[in-house]
């Protein structure tokens, strides 16, 4: 590769992308409410999840009140419901009515039965980045649809997550093919 190939186009801001979108759930006024979060990240080897939340979000009321939330990974077939969760506020529309809700160990972190992956989280820290907040939750327990499991292991190709590209693109994509083959412990 010649040095010319190393010339870069500069961009403003973050290009850590693409990422799966998630539906974050919380109890607000005794009703489950869900919103789309594009800016989320696992950290500390996945023991915690970080979400970036605008202070004006209706969901935030429930997260602050109960100090719990859920993270649900929708599959492609939930695109229509996901679009509603990302465009309408729980202030104006009962988004809990779009799904069957279930609860785990934390009784105040509503989870979506139709989503193949769910995690219940308890808030450990809230960072003030006005007008946003960085909310950190410890993953208390995770759940997967048994139909997404192959030979006892979670098979992401069966989850069909909705992948969101940022950096000016802002479209959704689907997960591509597997390009590596890790040996399992039993091999």
Question: Which residues would be at the binding site for ligand FMN (CB under 6 A)?
Answer: 21, 33, 35-39, 52-54, 57-59, 86-90, 164
Q: How far is the CB of 87 from ligand FMN (least distance, A)?
A: 5
Cα three-residue angle 171-173-179, rounded to 5 degrees:
145
Of 57 and 161, CB closest to ligand FMN:
57
Task: Measure the CA–CA gap between 153 and 148, rounded to whole angstroms.
Answer: 8
Q: How far is the CB of 76 from ligand FMN (least distance, A)?
A: 14
Token output for 96 = 């809990």
The answer to whether residues 111 and 103 touch, using CB atoms and an 8 Å cutoff, is: yes
Of 56 and 141, CB closest to ligand FMN:
56
The DSSP result for 118-166, as a single string, is EEEEEEEEEEEETTEEEEEEEEEEEEE-GGGEETTEE-GGGT-BEEE-T
Of 38 and 137, CB closest to ligand FMN:
38
Of 57 and 72, CB closest to ligand FMN:
57
Q: How far is the CB of 40 from ligand FMN (least distance, A)?
A: 7
Task: Measure the CA–CA gap between 95 and 172, rounded to whole angstroms.
Answer: 21
Q: How far is the CB of 57 from ligand FMN (least distance, A)?
A: 4
């Amino acid at each position: 590769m010649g040095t010319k190939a190393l010339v870069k186009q500069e961009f403003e801001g973050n290009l850590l992308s693409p990422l799966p979108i998630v539906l974050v759930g919380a109890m607000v006024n005794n009703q489950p409410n869900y919103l789309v979060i594009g800016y989320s990240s696992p950290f500390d080897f996945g023991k915690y999840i970080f979400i970036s939340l605008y202070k004006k979000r209706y969901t935030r009321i429930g997260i602050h009140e109960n100090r719990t939330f859920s993270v649900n990974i929708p599959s492609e077939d939930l695109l229509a419901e996901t679009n509603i969760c990302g465009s309408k506020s729980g202030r104006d529309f009962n988004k809990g009515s779009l799904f069957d809700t279930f609860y785990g160990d934390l009784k105040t972190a509503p989870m979506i039965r139709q989503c193949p992956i769910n995690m219940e989280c308890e808030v450990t820290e809230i960072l003030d980045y006005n007008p946003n907040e960085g909310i950190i939750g410890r993953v208390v327990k995770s759940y997967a649809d048994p139909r997404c499991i192959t030979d006892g292991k979670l098979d992401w190709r069966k989850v069909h997550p909705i992948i969101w590209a940022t950096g000016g693109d802002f479209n959704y994509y689907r997960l591509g093919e597997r390009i590596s083959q890790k040996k399992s412990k039993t091999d």
